[in-house]
């Protein structure tokens, strides 16, 4: 059974804290993604990575950074958490081939207080 | 840049009624199109993709390039179809990012 696993289901952090969200996939996929999911806004792409140590900005990268030191692991970093970053964060992975399925993690519900 | 529009936030129907969830897209090339579904307390998962031309759980979707639409249809809705549905587009490139619409919540009442 293919798996994308996010390290935390729920997180509560204080404003200004540095926050790490971890994601691991076991499918040897080249591409990995971080989205945030908000009611009425759908899924918005924050960053994606198409190879180890490679990253590209998505639609809403401000306030975030990422790290991909190993193929199976993709980390999202909130440098200084703010209340407007309270959201559900979804990690996904996919091969680069056409029309393939993206596999999603279970999500991390982050609350910044 | 690509864009996906789902005009309805909520679609409420009775069991046995036909369902159509609308999706329109804008993209200059020939995109890959998908429908993803998220049931309550479950992770987002693929429902179907346009290239497969298949019926999954009774749902079908036809790509209409002239109208740039990819509407999801089911002739007879079931209560277990209640979920959040997202239409998604991927450009035909190696990066394979997915651009999602804002989603439509489908509620099927008994």
Q: What DSSP assignment string belongs to B66-89? A: TTTEEEEEESS--GGG-EEEEEEE
- pLDDT at A25 (0 to 100): 97
Confidence of residue B47 (pLDDT cuts 50, 70, 90): very high
| Distance (Å) from the alpha carbon of A53 to chain B's nearest alpha carbon | 15
* Confidence at residue B96, expressed as pLDDT on a 0 to 100 scale: 73
Say yes or no: A1 contacts chain B, CB-CB below 8 A.
no
pLDDT tens per residue, range A70-99 = 999 999 999 999 999 999 999 999 988 877
Q: What secondary structure letter does DSSP report for A84?
A: G
Separation CA A46–CA A57 (nearest Å): 7
Is residue B56 within 8 Å of residue B48, measured between CB atoms?
yes
- What was the pLDDT predicted at B28? 82
Q: What is the mean predicted confidence (pLDDT) over B50-70?
A: 89
- Nearest by CB to residue B95, choosing from A31, A104, A107, is A31
pLDDT tier for residue A2 given thresholds of 50, 70 and 90: low
% helix, strand, coil for chain A, step of 5: 5, 55, 40
Whether A10 shows a pLDDT value over 70: the answer reads yes
Reply yes or no on whether the pLDDT at B95 is more than 70: no
Confidence of residue B93 (pLDDT cuts 50, 70, 90): low
Give the minimum alpha-carbon distance from B83 to chain A in angstroms, rounded to a whole number.
Answer: 14
Residue B68's region, left for phi above 0, alpha for psi from -120 to 50, else beta, is: left
The β-bridge relationship of strands A87-94 and A108-112 is antiparallel
Q: Is the pLDDT of residue B94 over 70?
A: no
């Amino acid at each position: 059974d293919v798996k994308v696993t996010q390290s935390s289901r729920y997180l509560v952090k204080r404003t200004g804290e540095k926050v790490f969200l971890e994601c691991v996939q076991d499918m040897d996929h080249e591409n990995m993604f971080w989205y945030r999911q908000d009611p009425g806004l759908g899924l918005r792409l924050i960053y994606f990575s198409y190879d180890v140590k490679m990253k590209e900005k998505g639609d809403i990268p401000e306030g975030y950074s990422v790290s991909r030191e190993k193929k199976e692991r993709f980390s999202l970093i909130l440098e200084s958490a703010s209340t407007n970053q309270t959201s559900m964060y979804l990690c996904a992975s996919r091969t680069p081939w056409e029309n393939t399925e993206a596999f999603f993690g279970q999500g991390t519900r982050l609350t910044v207080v | 840049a690509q864009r996906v529009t789902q005009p309805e936030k909520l679609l409420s129907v009775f069991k046995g009624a036909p369902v159509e969830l609308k999706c329109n897209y804008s993209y200059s090339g020939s995109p890959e199109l998908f429908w993803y579904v998220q049931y309550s307390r479950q992770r987002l998962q693929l429902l179907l993709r346009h290239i497969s031309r298949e019926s999954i759980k009774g749902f079908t979707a036809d790509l209409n390039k002239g109208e740039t639409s990819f509407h999801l249809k089911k002739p007879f809705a079931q209560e277990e179809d209640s979920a959040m549905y997202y239409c998604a587009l991927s450009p035909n490139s190696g990066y394979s990012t997915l651009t999602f619409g804002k989603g439509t919540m489908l509620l099927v009442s008994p």
